[in-house]
Amino acid sequence: MPRALDHVPTIQVALGLKAGKLAPCISREELQSALYSIVGLERPADPTTESQIANARLRVDDAFDATLGTIGRTLETRLAEAIHPLTSFRDVDEGVEFGSLDSAMLVSRMKGR
């Protein structure tokens, strides 16, 4: 019976995180390589340095390991309930107000007065 793409027990078996009737359909290495490609680490653009690439790979690896760990441990059945993906840039942090202490003075400076 086909399952939705966000069905965690199916994802756990597909990734080899849990035993199932079928063998895993993608290896950790294949998935990690696909992530590197998506992020642009397979063909980095100039003037990217080796240390920048290594740092980006480390960050991708950390996020990848954390997400796979969460998926492997969760008892949730829907993926979004397990990993809480970012769905909007408004979700990142609480907004911060900013401005000038003296906005009239700022406007004057911008007008060149």
* pLDDT-based confidence at residue 91 (cuts at 50, 70, 90): low
CA 80, 81, 84, 87 dihedral sign is positive
Q: What is the pLDDT of residue 46?
A: 81
The more confidently predicted of residues 88 and 109 is: 88
pTM of the model: 0.69
DSSP for 52-99 reads HHHHHHHHHHHHHHHHHHHHHH---SBHHHHH-----GGGSS------
Q: What is the pLDDT of residue 49?
A: 87
The more confidently predicted of residues 51 and 85 is: 51
Q: Using only C-alpha atoms, what is the Rg of the chain?
A: 22
* pLDDT-based confidence at residue 96 (cuts at 50, 70, 90): low
Tell me the residue type at 84.
H
Task: Reduce the DSSP state of residue 35 to 3 states and report it.
Answer: helix
